[in-house]
Amino acid sequence: MKPTNYCTSESPSFVMGIDLGGTSVKLGLLRGEELVARDQISTAHCDEPSDVFRRAREFSVAALHRHGATFDALESVGLAMAGVIDEATATLMETANLHAWHGIGFHQELARVFQKPVAVINDANAAALGESSFGEHRTDSLSFLTLGTGIGGGIIVAGRAINGSHGCGGEIGHVTIEHGPDARQCGCGRAGHLEAYAGAAGIVKTALEQLEATDQPSSLGAVDELTPEIISAAAECGDAIAMETVRRTGVHLGRAIAMLAHIADPAVVLLGGAVNFGGNQTRTGRAFLRTIRSEMVRLSLVQTGETLKIDFATLGNDAGMLGAAQHARQLTHQADPSCSNE
Ligand SMILES: [Zn+2]
């Protein structure tokens, strides 16, 4: 399946992507599909969103100039940010790490600073869109999970990110994978959600539960504060409890991805984020992937599970910024009837 194509009748226009994180802001200028300039600024020196956007605009003016273009050549600007975003008003409804900016109309503020068409998108949706448009596994039918402190998700159908009616489309971290009285409490307040098992704290809990339940020697027993990285390193050295922790985490993810497979039927599911047990470079990372896949296949219809590809994401921290730019381009072209997606 090919990625969606956009206007190619004229020379490629410039579009800008901004990925607003808790501590830093990534900026990128794209000409067509090529990232021609990039920068990163710290949010520590920015009291308000308008400070960030003004600096982003200065970056775009300078970068365009370096490429022989004026600010007029910038077609649109996309902004990715963590949290639940009301698509109608582009207001941040809920966020984990930008509390001071809660409730601000980012769309309006961005448009005021840039005086260009702008688009705002949830960061996990942006990362999904970035991977589907620019990553190694390009396809217009893709789901993406970010594995970290929490578990974010984005679902791309027909080349577009699903935001949903309440801004919560693709929140795969909060699907229920365990029922019953022993189901773990999720950070959101509900029980049995994927994040409570495969988020960083959930993975540590899986290891601690085993350490308590067995006398089996493990290098993890001597560690004061376990982290997924420590568990990953111990698993790579053959520690049985660490390996079992990775396996159980894979089973939990496989269950959630099986649900996803029956809802969105993606061609590819990608895993991004910091918790990847070493990714494709390590034995542990590859075993993690195999466990996820076999559990997903075990629970899925043959037509879906057998052909669904699961792999690690390839764009790293650039995915959100690239996806934000792509989202802006899609909305601009949607609004312009002279553009065709064919
Ligand atoms: Zn939850």
pLDDT value, residue 4: 41
Amino acid at 143: S
* Residues 265, 248: Cα–Cα separation, whole Å: 24
- Assess contact for 15 and 325: CB atoms under 8 A: yes
Query: What is the distance in A from the centroid of ligand 1 to the CA of 168?
Result: 12
Query: What is the distance in A from the centroid of ligand 1 to the CA of 171?
Result: 9
Tokens 């599911």: give the residue: 269
pLDDT value, residue 87: 67
Going from N- to C-terminal start, the domains of the chain cover 14-133+319-339, 136-314
pLDDT value, residue 254: 98
Query: What is the distance in A from the centroid of ligand 1 to the CA of 147?
Result: 14
Q: Do domains 14-133+319-339 and 136-314 have the same CATH topology?
A: yes
Query: What is the distance in A from the centroid of ligand 1 to the CA of 177?
Result: 11
Amino acid at 175: V
Closest Cα partner for 152 from 206, 201, 195? 195
Query: What is the distance in A from the centroid of ligand 1 to the CA of 125?
Result: 18
* CATH code for the structural domain at 14-133+319-339: 3.30.420.40
b/e sequence 115-135, b meaning 16+ C-beta within 10 Å: ebbbbbbbbbbbbbbbbbbbb
Query: What is the distance in A from the centroid of ligand 1 to the CA of 196?
Result: 7
Query: What is the distance in A from the centroid of ligand 1 to the CA of 256?
Result: 13
Query: What is the distance in A from the centroid of ligand 1 to the CA of 247?
Result: 21
Query: What is the distance in A from the centroid of ligand 1 to the CA of 192?
Result: 8
Query: What is the distance in A from the centroid of ligand 1 to the CA of 252?
Result: 14
Question: Which CATH architecture best describes the domain 136-314?
Answer: 2-Layer Sandwich (3.30)
Query: What is the distance in A from the centroid of ligand 1 to the CA of 199?
Result: 10
Query: What is the distance in A from the centroid of ligand 1 to the CA of 275?
Result: 18
Query: What is the distance in A from the centroid of ligand 1 to the CA of 44?
Result: 29
Query: What is the distance in A from the centroid of ligand 1 to the CA of 151?
Result: 9
Query: What is the distance in A from the centroid of ligand 1 to the CA of 70?
Result: 46
* Residues 96, 191: Cα–Cα separation, whole Å: 19
The token duo for 214 is 């067995």
User: Mind spelling out the 3-state secondary structure of the chain?
Assistant: CCCCCCCCCCCCCEEEEEEECCCEEEEEEEECCEEEEEEEEEHHHCCCHHHHHHHHHHHHHHHHHHCCCCHHHEEEEEEEECCEEECCCCEEEECCCCHHHCCCEHHHHHHHHHCCCEEEEEHHHHHHHHHHHHCCCCCCCEEEEEECCCEEEEEEECCEECCCCCCCCCCHHHCECCCCCCCCECCCCCECECHHHHCHHHHHHHHHHHHHHCCCCCHHHHCCCCCHHHHHHHHHCCCHHHHHHHHHHHHHHHHHHHHHHHHHCCCEEEEECCCCCCHHHCHHHHHHHHHHHHHHHHHCCHHHHCCCEEEECCCHHHHHHHHHHHHHHHHHHHHCCCCCCC
How far from 321 is each of 48, 261, 275, CA to CA, in Å? 20, 26, 20
Along the 342 residues of the chain, how does pLDDT read in single tens digits? 444 444 444 567 899 999 988 778 999 999 999 999 999 998 777 777 788 899 999 999 999 999 999 999 999 999 998 877 776 666 665 555 556 666 677 888 899 999 999 999 989 999 999 999 999 999 999 999 999 999 999 999 999 999 888 888 899 999 999 999 999 999 999 999 999 999 999 999 999 999 999 989 999 999 999 999 999 999 999 999 999 999 999 999 999 999 999 999 999 999 999 999 999 999 999 999 999 999 999 999 999 999 999 999 999 999 999 999 999 999 888 776 554 443
Would you call 20 exposed, middle or buried from its count of C-beta atoms within 10 A (0-12, 13-18, 19+)? buried
Closest Cα partner for 147 from 285, 24, 23? 285
